[in-house]
Amino acid sequence: MTDTTAAGKSYAMNPQHSALLTDLYQLTMLQGYFEQGMDETAVFEFFVRKLPEKRGFLIAAGLEQALQFLERLRFTGEELEWLAASGRFPDKAFIDHLAQLRFTGDVHAMPEGTIFFPNEPIIRVTAPIPQAQLVESRLINLLHFQTLIASKAVRCVLCAPDKLLVDFGLRRSHGAEAGLLAARAGYLAGFAGSATVLAEPLFGIPVFGTMAHSFVQAHDDESASFEHFAHAQPDNVVLLIDTYDTEAGAHKVVQLAPRLHERGIRIKAVRLDSGDLADHARKVRRILDEGGLGDTGIFSSGSLDEYELRKLLRAGAPIDGFGIGTHLDTSADAPYLDCAYKLVEYAGRARRKRSEQKATWPGRKQVYRHYDDKGLIGGDTLTLEDDTQDGQALIQAVMRGGQRLGPAEPLSDARRRVQENLKQLPPHLRALETEPAYPVTVAPALHRLAEQVDRALLHD
Amino acid sequence: MTDTTAAGKSYAMNPQHSALLTDLYQLTMLQGYFEQGMDETAVFEFFVRKLPEKRGFLIAAGLEQALQFLERLRFTGEELEWLAASGRFPDKAFIDHLAQLRFTGDVHAMPEGTIFFPNEPIIRVTAPIPQAQLVESRLINLLHFQTLIASKAVRCVLCAPDKLLVDFGLRRSHGAEAGLLAARAGYLAGFAGSATVLAEPLFGIPVFGTMAHSFVQAHDDESASFEHFAHAQPDNVVLLIDTYDTEAGAHKVVQLAPRLHERGIRIKAVRLDSGDLADHARKVRRILDEGGLGDTGIFSSGSLDEYELRKLLRAGAPIDGFGIGTHLDTSADAPYLDCAYKLVEYAGRARRKRSEQKATWPGRKQVYRHYDDKGLIGGDTLTLEDDTQDGQALIQAVMRGGQRLGPAEPLSDARRRVQENLKQLPPHLRALETEPAYPVTVAPALHRLAEQVDRALLHD
């Protein structure tokens, strides 16, 4: 083992697109498949086993990044050299096999922004087994995270549908990609945008910004800091007023307003970031109103999540917008989903795993959604792809032979789908704590196949 | 707002090193500083406000990536064009100012792997205010995450000091960088390595791998899958035996062993991934021992964390190694730290923020650590840099004028430091639930400065 650590130029490579961003066992299994000549078609499906506590549904997200990953999949010369030199893969023919490897398979999926439930596949990969196997680690990594965050963000949206919600979480998100993809997943779920600048050029997400305490502190005088900021950003004057004393800060804003007004500058909002936000908001609202700043909004931030939003809004806090950071970008109350990417068919035979508490349904599946006469969703049926049912089929072909079937879906379309899906939610599923669970029925055809697979295993 | 979304080539850029991986307010504040000609020296410190529940101490980590980020900081031509075209920064002189911006400041820090406590800065940045301000978002993003994960991983190490611990968390970590940096932070804290392949070329971390259920399922016969895997990886035969029935799988391993032995292949271990691990491990141990495989180890995985490790080891489960994934890579029971990067001095004057529950200590600080006569740590003193005290000074200069003061520290050295630090922990801090809290005393000099800063503010 070398200790290359640190300053090494290697870290400059973009790990997002490295074929080595995978678990070692994928490569050792690929070697096994290669030696045995196993390259028939495998079918894998990604699904969530069960909902985290308090979640009533999930939002499918991450498909776009998953497809980009599949399109770009290849080992670079540098990566192949490293693998050969690692000593783990002495067979040159295997390294050559990896050099040729591209994703040439099919993908079926629920469109991004679709509401889904446990055991329902949101993506199905059909490809020669080495390809379908290799991509497991990164596909899960991409689908899991955005689904996790979109499913958290949508809870804030349901709590505060008429408020401006902005992702503030970059600093405490888990690394660079987490910050960016959390901005994307939050926007998908209905947030107005993000504070993360790079999210705008990368994903077309509106970015928002105010000012930090350090700007105020760097000035010897708080009022001067407000005035300087207003001159620098005359179209976006949002002043942070809690650095020393929130209500005193609000009074300084009122005193400053006429001077700014003379220069045509309007104070769009003030920001509160500490203390009892409902109480401060009420006091600040009164100070602003009495000072003639009735159209200056109140924006607030600081350890917020859907539960805090609900509390503030129930208390009637006069707050117009919220910056939601850490709790969104880490999905703090449920920082992971119990999800899996499992082999359901190989070489034309359905497969299942029977491990305790982790058994999976075999075969290529489809999910049918049923609506009541008000247009609300009333239940799903999980069945085999060829067992056509009534209802709306949620899983669609999106890639064939490694090629997309259409252009990438604009993020705004997926975002609209979330809003349409939310309108179809029955009231109990819109609540932060939901019951009863949404019914997902496993069709008889799927039960029969599972029994058949088990019987075949017993006879092996 | 454009909807560039999706397939766009932009996502191919490496966001890890983009100067736009920051919060918008950093740029708007920079514009304010620029217009006011504010470019005097600012001092910012990064610290954790309080420990998450059940944590008794933290491990400093992420300094190496933070220094790389500072060394490379610059806006590319493409980024500057985008900023200019965004309409937010119409002043061309400001864009030119950004084009020139490099990090030319000083950095003082605790070395990676140092144990630390709330309110103790682990990094101090001293630079012209635009530089020190701009880097805030990404510095926190880098330091927070690795510190979080190292501090979680070390709890597993303390629970199971003699076991092989391997990071298995890539798939459920929050994106690409999280997976890689979690592998690094886990290794730093004492894990043997990671399953994430890319962690080896990037960081020199040993990688480990076994096999997945899909490999077994893709074969019509479980024994055949074991045999094929053993031939493909004769030096690393770890067989996953719970796909259908754990004990039946163990018997198949025993039956297979003589055939492999004839070809000089030893079965290094079996892996259990589901069910009651302690119970299965005991049964499997007996089957292996009775089958003459006394030197075949048992490796286990599946929703493990430090609490599960403790339970399994207290139950005497004969398990030799553990793959720890989701709970490590997301720090599931505490997925974030309450941390901050705060201005403590500007233009030669100490600064502090007084927001409710979020007040900060002003001035450039040092932490002195005191040891008892057994060499155990007994308390720290937080004071001003120039208020020299007895004890070990933990914060050291690592960068001056934008240049490192020495080569990057090998990760193995930082890893050794963790082990040395752990030996100095008093027994109650080694426990998973600790009390009383470790004493961090704020020196009189620091109290005096805080009062002085407050008085000056009142007179403004």
What are the pLDDT digits (tens) for B204-262? 999 999 899 999 999 999 999 999 999 999 999 999 999 999 999 999 999 999 999 99
Superfamily of segment(s) A14-150+336-361+395-441: nicotinate phosphoribosyltransferase (3.20.140.10)
B175/A198 CB distance under 8 A: no
- Give me the amino acid identity at B285: R
Q: Where in chain A is the domain with CATH 3.20.140.10?
A: 14-150+336-361+395-441
Q: Is the pLDDT of residue A460 over 60?
A: no
Of A35, A176, A346, which has the smallest distance from its Cβ to B217's Cβ? A346
**CB atoms A410 and B3 under 8 Å:** yes
Nearest chain A alpha carbon to B414: A5
**A358 contacts chain B (CB < 8 A):** yes
Within 52-81 of B, beta carbons closer than 8 Å to A belong to 64-65, 68, 79
Using 50, 70 and 90 to split pLDDT, how confident is the model at B4? very low
DSSP secondary structure of B172-208? GSSSHHHHHHHHHHHHHHT--EESBTTHHHHH---B-
- Give B 278-297 residues with CB within 8 A of chain A: none
**pTM of full prediction above 0.90:** yes
Note whether A187 contacts B: Cβ–Cβ < 8 A.
Answer: no
Among all residues of chain A, which has the CA nearest to that of B181? A175
Residues of A in contact with B231 (CB under 8 A): 32, 35
Instruction: Tell the CATH topology of A210-301.
Output: TIM Barrel (3.20.20)
- DSSP class of residue B10? G
- CATH code of the domain occupying B209-297: 3.20.20.70
Closest to A356 (Cβ–Cβ): which among B275, B332, B411? Answer: B275
Query: Which chain A residue lies closest to B8 (C-alpha atoms)?
Result: A202
Residue B178, chain A, CB below 8 Å: the answer is yes
Q: Is the pLDDT of residue A275 over 80?
A: yes
Cα gap B302→B327, rounded to integer Å = 10
The ipTM, to two decimals, is: 0.96
pLDDT confidence of B355, banded at 50, 70, 90? confident
Distances (CA, A) of A78 to A42, A74, A75, B438: 29, 11, 8, 48
Question: How far, in Å, CA of B200 to CA of B120, rounded?
Answer: 32
The ranges of chain A annotated as CATH 3.20.20.70 are 161-207+307-332, 210-301
A214, A231, A415, best to mutate vs chain B, most B CBs in 10 Å? A214
Task: Report B:152-171 residues touching A (Cβ under 8 A).
Answer: 168, 170-171
Whether the CB of B336 is below 8 Å from some CB of chain A: the reply is yes
Using the beta-carbon criterion (under 8 Å), do A27 and B197 form an inter-chain contact?
yes
Model confidence at A217: pLDDT above 90: yes
- Chain B contact present for A43, CB below 8 A: no
Chain A contact present for B410, CB below 8 A = yes
**C-alpha angle A264-A218-A257 in degrees, rounded to nearest 5:** 20
- Total Cβ atoms within 10 A of residue A192: 17
CA A39 to chain centre: 33
B218/A351 touch (CB, cutoff 8 Å), yes or no:
yes
Three-state SS for A108?
A: strand
Least CB-CB distance to A133: which of B11, B214, B339?
A: B214
pLDDT greater than 70 at residue A335: yes
pLDDT band, residue B13 (cuts 50/70/90): low
Within 10 angstroms of residue A282's Cβ, the number of other Cβ atoms is 17
What's the pLDDT at B42?
98
Residue A170: C-alpha distances to residues A177, A180, A246, B44 (Å): 9, 7, 25, 19
Task: Quickly state the pLDDT bin for A4 (edges 50, 70, 90).
Answer: very low
Residue B125 pLDDT exceeds 80: yes
Mutate to test the interface with A, among B214, B241, B346, B405 (most CBs of A within 10 A): B214
| pLDDT tens readout for residues B261-320 | 999 999 999 999 999 999 999 999 999 999 999 999 999 999 999 999 999 999 999 999
Q: What is the mean pLDDT of residues A255-264?
A: 97
Of A6, A217, A347, Cβ closest to residue B410: A6
The average confidence (pLDDT) of chain A is 94
Spatial separation of the C-alpha atoms in residues B392 and A117, rounded to whole Å: 55
CATH fold, domain A161-207+307-332, is: TIM Barrel (3.20.20)
